[in-house]
Chain A
Amino acid sequence: MTMTGSVHQLSRSKRLPAKVRGLILVRDQGLLMLWIAIVILFAYLAAPYFFTVATGIAMLNSASIASIYAAGLAVGVMTGVFDLSVPGTAALAGVVTALLLRAGVPVWAAILAGLLIGVLVGIVNALIVIKGFDPLIVTIAMLSVLSGTSLILAGGNNVSGLQGLTFMGTQTYLWIPAPVYIALALFLVLTVFLKTTRAGMRLLAVGGNAEAARRVGIPVSRYRVLGFSISALCAALGGIVTSAYVTTASPGASVSIVFDGMTAVALAGIPFIGGRGSLPRVALGAIVVATISTGLLLTGVQTYWSSIATGVLLVGGLALNMWTSRTATNLLLTGDTGKRAVE
C-alpha cells in the first residue's frame, strides 16, 4: 500500500487528500475571496468615490443593521427552523419600546421590555411548532398576528421622536456608528455561545440531526425553544436599533428584512437543512450585500440592478457550495463501493 493518501486507506492516514482539502478551502473561504474581488472591482469602476473611509463606514453601518436580523435568522436556520416572523417581531419590539419611551419609562426599561417581547414571541413560536406544526406556516401566522398587533398599538401611525435612543442609533464612537458596535457585540456573544458552550453545541446537534440528539438523551424540545428565542431576540434587537437609527418606530412589518437576512445567511454557505454554519461568515455575507448595493449606487447604475446582482450571486453561491460539498463527500465516502454508504 502506497502512502499517497488515497481514500482506501483512510483508516491509517491522518490527512485528508489534497483535492478534498482544496474543496474545503473554497467552501470555507470562497465568500471572503468573492468580497475582496467585489471590492477591487468597485474600487476600479466607482473610483474615486468607492474606496474611501467614509464609504466604508456607511457600508458597515447598513450592513450591521441587516446583519443583526441575519444573525437571528442564521441561528434559526442552524437550529433547523425558518423563522419568518422576524419582521413582525422587529416591528412590535420597536413600537413597544417607542411607546414606553413616550410614556416616560426609563430608556433601559423600555429597551428591556422590547427585547423581552422578542423572547416571548420566540417561546410562543417554539411551543406551537413543538406540537408538530410546520414552522414555516406557524411563523407566517405569527408574522401576521404581530404586524396587526403593532399597528393596533401604534394606532396605525409611525411613533416618532425617539431622541432617547440616539446613543444606539446615529451616535458615532471613534467615527464608527453605534449599530456597528451592537452588531459586533451580538456576533461575538453568539459565536462564543455556539462554539464553546454545551448549550450551543447541543443546539447545533438538534439542528443537524434531531433524531441523533434525541437518541443520546438531549431534550430536543427545550433546544427548539432556545433556538426560536435567540432568533426572536435578535429580531427584537434589530427592530429597536432600526427605530433608534431613524428615530422613528414603524409599525408596518418590512418583509424585505427576511429576504436580505436570508441572502446573507445563504451567501455564508449555511445550508438550510441546519446543523452547521459560521456566524462571522453571515456578517461577511451582510457586508457583501451592502458592498454590492453601495458599489452599484456609486457607479451610477440604476439601483434595481443591485437586487438582480444579489439574486444571481445567491444562486451562484449556492451552486458553488453544493458542488464543493458533494464532490468532497463523494471523494471520501464512496471509496471502494461507488455508492453512498449511509443516509
Chain B
Amino acid sequence: MRNERAFELESITVHYGHARALEDVDLHVAEGEVVALLGDNGAGKSTLLKVMSGAHRPTAGRIHAHGAEVDFRSPKDAAAAGVQMVYQDLALVDAMDIAANLSLGREHVVKGPLGRLGVLDRRRMRKESQAELDALGVRTAPMTRPVELLSGGQRQVVAIARAAARLGERGVLLLDEPTAALGHEQTELVEDLIRALAVKGTAIVIVTHNLPLAMAVSDRVVVLNRGRKVGDIATSLADQDRVVSWITGAAVQGD
C-alpha cells in the first residue's frame, strides 16, 4: 500500500516584500508518483522548488514529509527528511570520474592503518557506484570515465543517481529542468531513469517548461500561474491544449 502523502505542501505562501511569489499553493506527491510542475517564467515554479528543497522558508504554510510536519531551515534539513534536489547546473566535478562524483562526500577508505591516513578505497567506490547505477537500470559509461567526457544525458543520469543514492528508502526527489538542452535520445535516457526511480517508490517532482516531457513521464501535472495553482490533474486525463491554456493563463481548472 503506497503512502498517498509522501510529501505534502499546504497553503504555501511566499511574499518578497510586497511581491507575491506564491499564494496559497497546495501540492502533494505520493510514493512512486511523478508530478510535473509546469508554468511559465515567473509563475512561481522556482520559488516553490526552493521552498521544497529547503533553500527558502515560506512566509506561510506547512510542509509534511510522510505525515510528519517539517520545518526546513536549509537544504541540509530537507536532505535529512529524505528530500534531495538535482539542480539544473548538476553540480558535478567535471575532472573527476563517475565513481568519484557518486562517492564524493561519503568516500570509502581502505581498512587498517592506511585507512586511518585517509587512503581511498577506489575499487569499493567504483563497485558501489556501479551497483547504484545498475540498481536504477541505467547503463552509462565505465565508472572510471571523467564526467567531462560524458554526454549531456549521461551527466544528468549521474547527477540524478547521486541524489537517488542519498535518498534512502521512500525518498522525495526534486528535479529542475532535467532535460533542458538534451536531444531526443538523451531525453529518453533520462525519462527511463525517472520512471525507474518511481517504480522503486521514490516520490518525484519535476519542474519543467517542457510539456512533452511532462506528458511523457508524469502521473499528474500541476500548473502554476502568477503564483497560484491553476491546474492539478492526472496526466492520463489531461488534454494538452487545456494544460497549455492553464500555463498561459487563458483559463483555470474548472472553467
Chain A residues near B152 (CB, 8 Å)? Answer: 333, 335, 337, 340-342
B18 at the A interface (CB under 8 A): no
Decide: A10 and B93 in contact? CB cutoff 8 A: no
Chain B residues near A8 (CB, 8 Å)? Answer: 185
Chain A residues near B92 (CB, 8 Å)? Answer: 209, 212
B117 at the A interface (CB under 8 A): yes
Chain A residues near B181 (CB, 8 Å)? Answer: 337, 339-342
What's the nearest-Cβ distance from chain A to residue B229, in Å? 29
| Chain A residue at smallest Cβ distance from B183 | A336
Give Cα A20 to B181, complex, Å: 22
Decide: B75 and A215 in contact? CB cutoff 8 A: yes
Give Cα A47 to B140, complex, Å: 54
What's the nearest-Cβ distance from chain A to residue B222, in Å? 26
Give the A-B pair count, Cβ closer than 8 A: 122
Q: Mark B178-194, 1 if CB is under 8 A from A, else 0.
A: 00011111100100000
CB under 8 Å from chain B, chain A span 293-342: 328-329, 332-333, 335-337, 339-342
Decide: B154 and A10 in contact? CB cutoff 8 A: yes
Give Cα A329 to B94, complex, Å: 11
Q: Mark B67-111, 1 if CB is under 8 A from A, else 0.
A: 000000001100000000001011111111000100011110100
Q: Which of B92, B122, B155, B183 has the most CB of A within 10 A?
A: B183
Decide: B186 and A335 in contact? CB cutoff 8 A: yes
B151 at the A interface (CB under 8 A): yes
Decide: A336 and B186 in contact? CB cutoff 8 A: yes
Decide: A201 and B189 in contact? CB cutoff 8 A: no
| Chain A residue at smallest Cβ distance from B105 | A216
Known: A216-B105, A333-B152, A337-B183. A209 touches B93 (CB 8 A): yes
Chain A residues near B142 (CB, 8 Å)? Answer: 14
B139 at the A interface (CB under 8 A): yes
Interface residues on B, range: 35 or more
Decide: B105 and A335 in contact? CB cutoff 8 A: no
Known: A205-B96, A276-B95, A342-B152. A12 touches B139 (CB 8 A): yes
B199 at the A interface (CB under 8 A): no
A interface size (C-beta, 8 A)? 41
Contact of B94 among A16, A198, A216, A275 (CB under 8 A): A275
Decide: A205 and B183 in contact? CB cutoff 8 A: no
B118 at the A interface (CB under 8 A): yes
Q: Mark A4-43, 1 if CB is under 8 A from B, else 0.
A: 0001101111101000100010000000000000000000
Give Cα A340 to B148, complex, Å: 12
A136 at the B interface (CB under 8 A): no
**Besides the contacts A11-B139, A12-B139, what 16 more A-B pairs have beta carbons closer than 8 Å?**
A10-B141, A11-B151, A20-B149, A198-B118, A215-B75, A216-B162, A329-B149, A333-B150, A335-B183, A339-B181, A340-B152, A340-B181, A341-B152, A341-B155, A341-B182, A342-B181
**5 A-B contact pairs sorted by A residue (CB < 8 Å):** A209-B91, A215-B75, A217-B105, A328-B149, A341-B186
| Residue ranges of B at the interface with A (Cβ–Cβ < 8 Å) | 75-76, 87, 89-96, 100, 104-107, 109, 117-120, 122, 138-142, 145, 148-156, 162, 181-186, 189
| Residue ranges of A at the interface with B (Cβ–Cβ < 8 Å) | 7-8, 10-14, 16, 20, 24, 196-199, 201-202, 204-205, 208-209, 211-213, 215-218, 275-276, 328-329, 332-333, 335-337, 339-343
Q: Which 10 A-B pairs have the closest CB atoms?
A: A341-B152, A216-B105, A336-B183, A276-B95, A212-B91, A337-B183, A208-B93, A198-B118, A197-B118, A341-B181
